[in-house]
Amino acid sequence: MTRYFTKDHEWISVDGDVATVGITDFAQNALGDITFVEVPEAGKAVSKGDTAAVVDSVKAASDVYAPVSGEVIEGNAALEEAPELVNTSPESEGWLWRMSVSDAGELADLMDEAAYAAYIAEL
């Protein structure tokens, strides 16, 4: 399983042609207390860069973009009752959705963990 990162602070873990997407610890820290998460429905087709989820914090509502194109397999149902999982476990239990990856070539545009760490260090 390989994990990639976007400049918009999403992470995507890819296992073959299936991927799990969430927001990074940096992102959840910037957003503050998360009170609601709208995850995409299974079967929804998303293109790279589309708004796929919305994360609502006490401060603001933020779009979460699809890092690559594909079809949503499932949204994280646990977030309906426990949106705070995105704060407490952003890169594990607080995942947002799973999806198929239709064009693995799109992953080439993303950062690996070291590149992302360097990127946020500059912000």
Interface with another protein (CB under 8 A): 8-10, 23, 27, 32-33, 35-36, 38, 54-56, 58-65, 83
Report the residue number, 58 or 114, with the smaller CB distance to another protein. Answer: 58
Supply the minimum distance, in Å, between the C-beta of residue 54 and another protein.
Answer: 7
CB of 17 to another protein, least distance (A): 24
Shortest separation between residue 67's beta carbon and another protein, angstroms: 10
Question: In angstroms, rounded to a whole number, what is the distance separating the alpha carbons of residues 89 and 50?
Answer: 24
Residue (17 or 60) nearer to another protein, CB: 60
Q: What share of the chain is helix, strand, coil (3-state, %, to 5)?
A: 25, 35, 40
CA angle 109, 90, 71 (to 5 degrees): 50
Cα separation, 34 vs 85, whole angstroms: 8
